[in-house]
């Protein structure tokens, strides 16, 4: 792949060519989310993602021209920050889709707390608020270990979970050094994976490694550290996981995320766009947000609908093992009899595919394919 500036000229014009190139460096302590996508994703899927993102930036220039001057700079600034990248990316994508639908979106066109977009269809106004739950990175000891192992050249996927280990430089360096040795020994032994652990009550000196193993058995409670390394052939070392992970509660998380939205415009139809990309949703997550979305609609008569959307890598259908970029859309319409009504055709347009970049159907939603 050539320079990202050449690949994404409209994105470079939006945030600045030098700024965009700077996001592609390893200088920062914690990487910008765009860096692993641009450098580690397979060529075809990387190009799909970047082309779609660049096209969104191009389309949004029309929206920025009709919006207050401050909005463009604000979104560009948010795009460059790790904490706000996903929110800015979601607003760019949503705004570009609304523009492609011919809904003439204006960003924050009026004073005070307002939804993100004001749209007009056949002389009727409706508002759109874009929300990205749990999108801001929450750094843990796992992120620190990942940074320590940036230079490791191995096609290995590592799931790392810690419980109660102190997040300090000494502990991080011990874990990183042990994983570095373990990964090298796994590759040298020619096995497909290994298990690493620190037993309950132990410290970093009690590190255990089982080359070629897939399970770790302990009779003394939950390990203080558990890691599974898998040599999967995908380029680069990838480390995911977390500290003190809890049992998944998709509905509880969805309800927590959708508790309150004071920026909705009362007395007018509103659509809440919930971008789930950052949580890598599975079927249970989507169903949980559908239920939580309907509950929000029940509480808020001005909320006409909740649109769930997501975008990411998934395996292509069997027999292929290749990855593909897919998107999904689920529209949850309010069941309240007194709910504000959207202009005709808006609901159908919100889930229309192919508005920015054509692609495959999402297998989480057969009726709502890629954008």
Average pLDDT for runs of 10 along the chain of length 371: 86 96 75 85 87 96 95 96 94 97 87 86 96 85 88 88 88 94 93 90 90 74 87 83 77 92 90 93 92 96 97 62 77 96 96 79 44 39
Q: Fill in the DSSP letter of residue 263.
A: T
Contact 117, 94 (CB under 8 A): yes
Look at residues 195, 206, 193, 152 and name the one whose alpha carbon lies nearest to residue 176. 152
Helices (H), the chain: 4-7, 9-15, 17-23, 34-40, 43-65, 69-79, 85-100, 141-148, 169-189, 250-257, 283-299, 346-350
Contact 146, 39 (CB under 8 A): no
Measure the CA–CA gap between 41 and 136, rounded to whole angstroms: 21
- Give CA separation, 317 vs 322, 362, 363, in Å: 9, 11, 9
pLDDT score at 213: 82
pLDDT score at 71: 94
Write 244-247 long-range contacts (CB < 8 A, 24+).
244/162, 244/163, 244/164, 245/161
pLDDT score at 37: 87
- Give CA separation, 318 vs 183, 323, 367, in Å: 30, 11, 20
> For residues 245, 203, 227 and 147, what is the CA-based torsion angle, rounded to 10 degrees?
90
């Amino acid at each position: 792949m050539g320079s990202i500036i050449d690949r994404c000229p409209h994105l470079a014009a939006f945030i600045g060519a030098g700024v965009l190139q700077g996001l592609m460096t390893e200088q920062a302590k914690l990487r910008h989310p765009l860096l692993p996508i641009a450098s580690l994703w397979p060529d075809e899927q990387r190009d799909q993602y970047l082309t779609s993102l660049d096209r969104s930036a191009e389309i949004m220039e029309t929206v920025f021209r009709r919006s207050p001057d401050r909005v463009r700079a604000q979104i560009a600034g948010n795009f460059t920050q790790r904490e706000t990248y996903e929110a800015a990316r979601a607003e760019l994508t949503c705004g570009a889709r609304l523009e492609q639908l011919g809904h003439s979106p204006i960003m924050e066109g009026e004073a005070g707390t307002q939804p993100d977009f004001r749209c007009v269809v056949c002389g009727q106004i409706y508002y759109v608020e874009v929300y990205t739950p749990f999108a801001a990175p929450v750094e843990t000891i796992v992120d620190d270990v990942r940074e320590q192992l940036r230079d490791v050249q191995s096609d290995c996927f590592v799931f790392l979970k810690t419980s109660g280990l102190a997040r300090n430089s000494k502990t991080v360096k011990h874990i990183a050094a042990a994983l570095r040795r373990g990964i090298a020994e796994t590759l040298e032994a020619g096995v497909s994976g290994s298990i690493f652990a620190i037993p309950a009550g132990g410290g970093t000196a009690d590190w255990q490694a089982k080359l070629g193993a897939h399970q770790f058995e302990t009779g003394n409670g939950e390990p203080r550290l558990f890691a599974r390394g898998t040599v999967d052939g995908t380029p680069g070392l990838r480390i995911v996981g977390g500290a003190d992970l809890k049992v998944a509660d998709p509905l509880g998380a969805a309800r927590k995320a959708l508790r309150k939205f004071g920026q909705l415009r009362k007395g007018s139809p509103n659509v809440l766009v919930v971008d789930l990309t950052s949580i890598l949703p599975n079927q249970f997550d989507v169903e949980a947000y559908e239920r939580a979305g309907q509950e929000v609609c029940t509480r808020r008569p001005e909320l006409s609908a909740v649109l769930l959307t997501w975008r990411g890598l998934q395996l292509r259908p069997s027999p292929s093992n290749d990855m593909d970029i897919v998107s999904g859309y689920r529209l949850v319409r309010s069941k309240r009899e007194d709910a504000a009504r959207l202009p005709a055709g808006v609901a159908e347009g919100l889930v229309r595919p192919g508005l920015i970049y054509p692609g495959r159907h999402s297998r989480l939603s057969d009726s709502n394919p890629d954008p």
